[in-house]
Amino acid sequence: MKRFFITTLCRPHTALLLSAATTSTALYHFTRPIHASAASAAATPNNRIYFPVRYDYEFDSLALLPTPLLANFTLRGDVASDRLTAALIRIVSYETEKEISAVDIEVDEPTTRDLMYKYNVNKIPTVVALKGGIPIGSYTLPDDFKEVDWQDFKQWIESMASK
């Protein structure tokens, strides 16, 4: 008789499947696709949403990717940061056919402050577009922010992916 247990870890895209049998135990790690349907999965096969960065050395290898990377400088628990982050993840994961990836940089961690200086981030939230480690653009919310201008943000993301 086999029993199956599924435990979801920190992120919704990662799960751990634990299979216990009478003679052996097998441990499988798999990643669920981040796309909602086969149609959207075919449209953006190479887009990635990376785990949040909490140390500057974690960002070094991501910054040098040949495809454009959107570095989202965000503050946990901040309304504007949360809304911009949600829009960024949805657009990169589901709504663009352009090849682009994204990562959150949590600026409330003291170990990421150097990245703010390096990429000239002086307002939170800010999304900095990088290609091969070189900044190619940035996006910030207006001072009178109420909601994310979805069309404007999506257009900016797609323009950064085309560079």
Name the strand (E) or helix (H) holding 135. Answer: strand 134-140
What whole-number distance in Å separates Cα of residue 13 and Cα of residue 31?
6
Mind listing the domains of the chain with CATH numbers?
1-32 (no CATH), 38-161 (3.40.30.10)
- Answer whether 0.85 is exceeded by the pTM: no
Reported as a single tens digit per residue, the pLDDT across 52-76 is 999 999 999 999 999 999 999 999 9
Q: What is the mean pLDDT of residues 146-150?
A: 93
In this structure, what token pair is assigned to residue 51?
Answer: 């785990």
What whole-number distance in Å separates Cα of residue 105 and Cα of residue 119?
12
